[in-house]
Amino acid sequence: MDANDGFRELHRQECLSLLATVPVGRIVYTRQALPAVLPVNFSLDRDGAVLVRTSAASELVGAIDGALVAFEADEVDAAAHSGWSVVVMGTATVVTDPAEHTRLLLTGPRSWAPSPREVFVRIDPELVTGRELVGGRSLYGARFPS
């Protein structure tokens, strides 16, 4: 990130705090050797891992289990020219431990498209980055054109 691009770099804890405020993000993964992006609802686990609840039979599960993925979420106010974006990169794994699965049934995300057999996918936050633009101002205080 260029220090002069008008954005403020966010620290890891700021990133995780912001992620906890939005319900939808995007998983970036590889499908048939090409990049794929899928919007999903999610929540954060107590250690900052991204949790997604989805159908055990979904194509997504087969494509990302054990793979390095990126997860991105953001919030933008177009009128105020402000917003933030956070990216989490890490390995995605299907939760297979029965006790952990039971805990996540109580504390994890609820699927927006429920299915008879669901699994939880966990993305461990190996690298967390983010940036913020406040009020459409650059680091120099200059207002961006409308």
Q: Comparing 99 with 7, which gets the higher pLDDT?
A: 99
* Cα(101)–Cα(98) distance, integer angstroms: 5
* Cα(18)–Cα(26) distance, integer angstroms: 15
Place of tokens 């793979």: 67
pLDDT digits (tens, 9 = 90+) for 69-102: 999 999 999 888 889 999 999 999 999 999 999 9
Quick check: pTM over 0.85? yes
CA 92 to chain centroid, in Å, comes to 12
Amino acid found at 135: G
Residues 6+ apart with CB under 8 A from 11: none
Place of tokens 């405020």: 21
